[in-house]
Amino acid sequence: MSSVQINKKFKLSSLVNSRIKVYTITNREYTGTLLSFDKHMNLVLSDVEESRITKKTWSKLKKHQNEEGSEIEKEKRSLGLIILKGDQIVCLNLVVDKLTDVSERIIKVPKSIKQKASTTTKKKVIV
């Protein structure tokens, strides 16, 4: 079983309770709310909607792969609560329903924390 090295730049924990879209090796997309994960990147998702390309659509795409006007039909279904194995996951994206203003995305630091940071105590060392 493969595991994922989580370093300081990659924080999946910051996406908990966020809507994400997960792509798997079976060409399926799962869109849901991330509830939990582990070191193997197994994911627990709630309110999940699965979408996939049907075999009929795949055969149409193979026949008309040079044509630009061919539409891709996806079959969707609601699954509820699921567990996705980490070795099946290819990619995951954050789903943003609306565009937010930059000022809303900035984390505001309370004044009490700013004051504590500015008034650090210095110890005098006598030699």
- Domain borders along the chain are 12-118
Report the candidate in 6, 5, 9, 36 with the shortest Cα–Cα distance to residue 20: 36
What is the per-residue pLDDT for 126?
62
What is the per-residue pLDDT for 36?
94
Over residues 39-87, the pLDDT tens digits come to: 999 999 999 999 998 888 878 777 776 566 667 778 899 999 999 999 9
Whether pTM > 0.75 for this model: the answer is no
Other C-beta atoms within 10 Å of 45: how many?
23
Q: Domain 12-118's class?
A: mainly beta
What is the per-residue pLDDT for 63?
77
pLDDT at 29 over 80: yes
Q: How confident is the model at residue 30 (pLDDT cuts 50, 70, 90)?
A: very high
